[in-house]
Each structure stands twice: as structure tokens, then as C-alpha cells.
Amino acid sequence: MISVIANEADWPVVREFFELFKTPWRFYTPESNPVVLLCAGNVVPPADAALVIIYGSDLLEVDKLEGAGCESRTGPATFQHGDIEFPVYVRLLADAVSQKIVYRRGELNGRPYVRIGFDLFAEIRNLLANGQPANNAVVAALEQHIAVLRNVILNQGLPLVEIPPRPAGFDFIACLTHDVDHVGIRNHKFDHTMFGFLYRATAGSLLDVCAGKRNVGQLGRNIFAALRLPFVHLGLARDFWYQFDEYTALEEGRPSTFYVIPKKGEAGLDARGRRMQRRAASYDAAELKDFLRRLESAGKEVTVHGLDAWRDTSAGREERGLISGLVNNEAAGIRMHWLYFDAEAPGKLEAAGYDYDSTMGYNETIGYRAGTVQVFKPLTTQQLLELPMHIMDTALFYPSYLNLSDKQAESVIEPLLDNAVRFGGVLTVNWHDRSLAPERLWGEFYQKLIRQMQKRNAWFATAAQAVAWFRKRRAAQFEMTPAGTVKVTLPADSDEKLPALRITSQRSKDSTPVEETAYNGWEASLAA
């Protein structure tokens, strides 16, 4: 059992951190008799703990006792612990000579302690509220914070019980999602989208062939599509941007989620209060009603691709109602169009009735904006959860973003696939509705990505299912028994269609973890 001392203002962050690092813990009281005492404040009480872990970016009394030459300064800087390396953003305590962030073992009041020179919960707050800059996108910093704390405890030979973020029988969750921005090219007549398509399908494709980013066959398909465009507008040829059936076939029965813009021609306001007409959809969601219900029948989720919901609760409620009226199931989630988001958005989305949001991600790159592979609760909400987005097709291939070839994109994605196996959690992919079609032709890459996730033993889930599984994990409770064991209790009303949870126990870093499967309503007593 970990007992935590932290400033009261950080208590919500502490609670959320230990929903992500799902292990027995509680706030410290003089009567708590902790096995591990985690101090994230200036006071270290003389507790009879087997291990004291002291986080902090300020010079503390324990540092003075050690005679350590340290200095406090503002981040960012890199923290290293064994093979773990990640950025520290807020403040840190560095060794005056080496300038490395302090990591020290010692003895305090006759008890072993570990001193770590940054404020853990300030870092977690920053990651969940502000996110990481794009240059650190590939680093799952929050998961690395968890890994350091886990290693420190196990290195001391102390037992640790966890419910890892891995569904029983799988290594991670794969969440396939699609932002529905265009639907059909027939909706675009003599506008920037049509002319952009013509350029990219002809001259742009030729330049891509010269740069080794496309092959001659793809060039031919794009030129043929450009020649066919007049016949599409006349209704004499199929609209090749209409890709719903293609996604259903390509995904081969796997669930996925479609985010649909609720209003035609409505651009919404950006962060500066401007209306950028390029942001407006040229399709009417109401005209897609039959097709959206067909998607649901095929095991897909249909929900909201929001316009103004991020900044206006009443608009969010209206947008949710418009999509809910078109489908068989109530729209539970949202992703904002163009990924518009700010610190107040989660609370407004929750007030509008959404169960989850999936906007936290990057336009310009791929990776972990919140530093995590896990669904988490924003610090401003009570129930709404955030499903982070990790990989977006346009970020990979757009000339204004990473501008990668297929081979380069495979190399960039590989670390995220490896992290999915290493940390568990969810890997959320966003492939836009028109991305299988000319001029993009990103379908083959998408299919390879699905196969890679399948090969790595992923559970494929809709966004709502992934969030529901994490809610199930969050609902699990730990209890210390008088016999000194840990009892794990799961809610009896959990959805039995969702995979079960895992429970692991480990006595030291070098010991083999013991793993059991926890089914709904089942209790387990594992040696603490």
C-alpha cells in the first residue's frame, strides 16, 4: 500500500495518477502505517515505512543533510533512470556539478529513501492539462513516470499489485476512427477542395512519383480519377470519395468509429472568434441517415465531429442531438473538427452530455500529446473521459506536416506500436473518410497498419467500447485485509461483453509477475 503526502491543491491530480497507475494507495495519515511513503511536499514525517520516496523540485532538508550541491530551476530537462528517459517540463532540482536531475538513494531516520528531483504531480498536471510540445510527441512521458515509480518500489524488494491497462487476452486496445469531413467530391464544385484535388491528383502526384512517395500505378489511378471528375458531377460515374462501404470491407468486421459533422455549411468559430469557411462541411448529415444506420448495423459507432461544442455548451448539446437523431444509438462521444480544444473544453463537453472526447492529439505530428497511452479523466470533469488520439493520416502524409513516404511512415509508427505492447493502453488511429480514395490512396497503408496491430495482439474496439473498458478498470477497488492481503473487488454490473481485467502481483524487479484474470463480480486475494 502506497501512502501519499501531497498539497491539497494536487489531490485531484493524485487521484487521477493512481487511476492510471492502478495499484493500492491512499492519502497519508499518522495512523496509516505505510509500506511505501510517497512524499510530494516539503514535509517528510518520521513514518515507519519500508521505503520513503521523496519527489520535489525545491531544495529540501534531506538534501541539506546529505550535503548535496543542488539548484532548483525551470524545465524542460531530461530525466534518466536506467533505460528510462523522458522530459521534465515544470521545475526540477539539478546536481550543481553534473546538471542532471537529482536521483539519489540514502537512509533517513533509519529507513531507506529515494530522492527524485522534480514534482511528480506538477508534471502529471501539466501533461493532462497542457500536453507535450510536438518535438516530444513520441515520448509516452506519463507512462514513463509510472514506470519509474514502479521500478523504485520493486528495486527495494517490495511487493506490488496492479491492474494494468491491458484487457485480458490482449496486449492493448486498437481504436480505429474516421473523421467524416467530405463524404463525396460531388459536393465540391469549383471550390478550393475541388481545385486542390485536381492539382494533387495530377501535378502533385507526378512530383510524388519523382520524389519516390508514389508509384506509377498510383499516378495512373489519380489521373484517371481527375479525368472522371466531370462525369461524377453529371451523375454518370460513381463518386469515388464516397468510401463508407470500402471502410466496412477493408476493416473486415472490426469495429470502428465515424465522427460526423452535424451541420452543412457551418464553419463555427475558431479560438480568435473568426469564421473560416474552409472549415465548413459541404455535406448534409441528415441525407446520410440510411448509410449511418448501415454502419451501425456493421458494428460501427457513429457519433459527433463537433464544430462549436468545444467553446459553447448549448452548441455542443445541439450538435449531439442532431447526430443522435440520425442513428439508432445515442451519440456518446465527440472529436472536434480541426482538433479545436482548450483547457475549458472538457467541462463544456461534459455539460453538453458527452460521455467521452477524443480530440487530444496533434495535427502536425503523431504521438502522445498528453504523454499517455491511456484513457484519462481531464482534471476539470467529473465523468467525461478523454480518449487520446495518437496517429492521424494527414499528419503522416500531408506536405505541410510530416510529408512522409509509406516506408518512412512505417518507421515513424513502429515506436508507437512497440509502446502499445510495452505499456498496454489504447492506440487510437484517425483515418479520414476520403483517405482510401484518389488523390490520397492511403488505403493500402491503413490496411498494413491494421495488420500490424492485429499481429501485436490488439483488441479492436469502437471509441465508446475502449472508454467503457477503461471505466470498468477505474471502477475496480482495492482493499487491505487484516490478514495483510489485497482484495480486488470488481463491480458486479460491469458489461460482460467487454474483456475482463488482469491483476498482476510482483515481489521484486527480478521476480516473475503473477497474473490472474478478474471476471465481472469476482474477488481475488493476492499476497501483498
Domain borders along the chain are 2-157, 172-184+241-464, 186-239, 476-527
Amino acid type, 368: Y
pLDDT at 68 exceeding the cut of 70: no
Predicted confidence at residue 324, as pLDDT, reads 97
Distance, first Cα to last Cα, the chain: 8
Predicted confidence at residue 525, as pLDDT, reads 55
Predicted confidence at residue 281, as pLDDT, reads 96
Highest mean pLDDT among 18-32, 98-112, 390-404: 390-404
**CB–CB of 464/332 below 8 Å?**
yes
pLDDT at 528 exceeding the cut of 50: no
Predicted confidence at residue 123, as pLDDT, reads 98
pLDDT in tens, 367-413: 999 999 999 999 999 999 999 999 999 999 999 999 999 999 999 99
Per-chain mean pLDDT for the chain: 93
Predicted confidence at residue 67, as pLDDT, reads 66
Amino acid type, 155: N
Cell representation of residue 490: 470488481
Predicted confidence at residue 48, as pLDDT, reads 84
Q: Which residues pair with 38 in a beta bridge?
A: 4, 53
**CB–CB of 80/67 below 8 Å?**
no
Look up the CATH number of domain 172-184+241-464: 3.20.20.370
Q: What is the mean pLDDT of residues 214-241?
A: 96
Q: Which residues pair with 335 in a beta bridge?
A: 305
Q: Measure the CA angle with vertex 463, ends 461 and 465; round to 5°.
A: 55
Q: Where are the beta strands (DSSP E) in 189-256?
A: none
